Amino acid sequence: MANNLSHKSFKDFEDIPEMDIFQRAKAHEEYLDYLKVSGYMNYRLLVTSGCGPEVTLEEFGTIRKGSYVSFVCNDYLGFTQHPEIKKAAMAGIEKYGTGAGASPLIGGYFEYHQALEDKLSAFFKRPKGSAIVYTTGYTSNSASLQCLLKKDDIAIVDMAVHASVYEGIQGTTVKRFLHNNLEALERILINVRDKYRTKMVIVDGVYSQDGDMAPLKNILDVTHQYGGVLLVDDAHGIGVIGETGRGAMEYFKVMNQVDIITGTFSKTFSNVGGYVIADPQLIAYLQFQSRQYAFSAAATPAISAVSRAIDLVDEEPFWQKKLWENIDYYRSGLTSLGLDIGTTSSAIIPVKIGDIEKNCEAGKLLLECGIYTNPIMYPAVSLKDARIRMSLMATHTKEHLDKALNAFDYINKKLNIALSI
Ligand SMILES: Cc1ncc(COP(=O)(O)O)c(C=O)c1O
């Protein structure tokens, strides 16, 4: 069985011809068992501590119970454990209770929501009314795109955008262009000129698997040159990139020109939820026309913590500075081991391995060395592009990073994963 399953991925169980849902779930369970027995089950591990650079895992399959240095948390500035942010969450709950009780349109729109919208508009240097808050980063993309783009429109997307974008563009025409390839984007824009009502180009500021940035200035210029609208999802750039942490848009000096910005509260802002920033008329349109906003309960009062987290990006810039010291140290440590970290220029650091089985083995050995990472495989990346993906935090210490570098050195000797020179 193991041989059979070693070349499978979760994607293979999305749909299986002739199998009803119970047969499919049974086949899927066999795959889960295979992963568990092989020591490759790095997914959905039970954490018994808080989110941070060190976490405690429960025993599971071959994984021992205990403390691990963790690189799986996108809490880039370490704000999930910031005392003031915790205090703001508790103050929100103390004042307003634990839930909003309804969707924003029918009784669930509270002053803490409005305060957060205002804070977001100001953070992105836009007029009041430029922000809408969703209950996940995922729906910030999927719900807003589903609402805005219909069949006579077109979404022109970089191949590496997040799954939430793909979900949002199912009801419209879609063209994909090679990752960060400006010529390919321009060719599509020329071909579709005058054929669609709204031509929306959709990119990430920082890409979630390679950690590289989109060349936003050039993308913006070419998009506007051919009458397109640009949407940038900067889930991984905010708090990390740009002089004041306003993301890839700040880095490329295009913050005011990007037509639509989407983002999340689950990374730098250390909570759950997301937002869209756009022209106030478009935001009002989303408030009343976007189904997930209209028919789903509003964010809970704990989201008051996000308003404080936004302030702290400006008030405590040393977290971003410390994060970058860690990124520079870790990147140079990995490259001096001869490992392939691709084109990352953010807090997301991949170690590219290529082969799926070797990648699984590397993830397992890292856990044995006390290092918790995410082995990423198809379909999240292409078949031959498996990698170990890590997120750095400002609160990682040099000892954490050295422990991981020593583990990679050991694994490289065992698996020979370095680039051949
Ligand atoms: C680029 C990007 N956009 C959107 C999301 C969805 O955000 P959330 O997990 O907060 O729903 C993610 C999540 O990892 C992401 O990487």
CA 142 / ligand 1 centre spacing (Å): 11
Would the pLDDT of 287 be above 60? yes
Per-residue pLDDT tens for 38-58?
989 889 999 999 999 999 999
Mutate to test the pocket of ligand 1, among 266, 271, 296, 391 (most ligand atoms within 8 A of CB): 266
Query: What's the pLDDT score for residue 207?
Result: 97
Whether residue 382 is predicted with pLDDT greater than 90 in this model: the reply is no
Burial class (CB in 10 A: 0-12, 13-18, 19+), 186: middle
Domains and CATH numbers, the chain: 80-315 (3.40.640.10)
Query: What is the pLDDT at residue 5?
Result: 86
Q: What is the pLDDT of residue 77?
A: 98
Q: Cis peptide leading into 83, omega within 30 of 0?
A: no
Shortest CA distance to 248 belongs to which of 266, 262, 229, 269?
A: 262
pLDDT score at 1? 42
- pLDDT value at residue 395: 98
CA distance 225 to 2: 53
- Per-residue pLDDT tens over the stretch 316-333: 999 999 999 999 999 999
Cα of 264 to ligand 1 centre, how many Å? 6
* pLDDT for 42: 87
Six-digit token string for 403: 């422990």
CB-based pocket (< 6 A), ligand 1: 136-138, 141, 162, 164, 204, 208, 233, 235-236, 264, 266, 274
d(CA 180, CA 182): 6
Residue of 51, 133, 208, 306 to test ligand 1 pocket, by largest number of atoms within 8 Å of CB: 208
Q: Which tens digits make up the pLDDT trace of 96-113?
A: 999 999 999 999 999 999
- Give per-residue pLDDT as tens, 210-261: 999 999 999 999 999 999 999 999 999 999 999 999 999 999 999 999 999 9
- State the closest ligand 1 atom to the C-alpha of 161, by its place in the atom list counted from 1: 1
Mutation to probe ligand 1, out of 72, 164, 213, 268 (largest number of atoms < 8 A from CB): 164
pLDDT the model gives residue 421: 53
pLDDT given for residue 143 in this prediction: 98
Indicate if the pLDDT at residue 9 is higher than 90: no
Of 262, 264, 381, best ligand 1 pocket probe by most atoms within 8 Å of the beta carbon: 264
Predicted local confidence at residue 370, as pLDDT? 97
Q: Judge whether 305 and 270 are in contact, CB under 8 Å.
A: yes
Q: What is the pLDDT of residue 343?
A: 96
Q: Which residue has the higher pLDDT, 407 or 383?
A: 407
Radius of gyration of the chain measured on its C-alpha atoms: 22
- Residues forming beta bridges with residue 391, ordered by sequence position: 348
CA of 164 to the centre of ligand 1 (A): 7
> Which helix H or strand E contains 366, and what residues bound it?
helix 356-368
Q: How far is the CA of 162 from the centre of ligand 1 (A)?
A: 7
Residues 115-150 pLDDT 10s: 999 999 999 999 999 999 999 999 999 999 999 999
What distance in angstroms lies between residue 267's CA and the mean position of ligand 1's atoms? 8
Percent of the chain with pLDDT over 70: 99
334: confidence class by pLDDT, cuts 50, 70, 90: very high
Residue 264 and residue 141: Cα distance in Å, rounded? Answer: 10
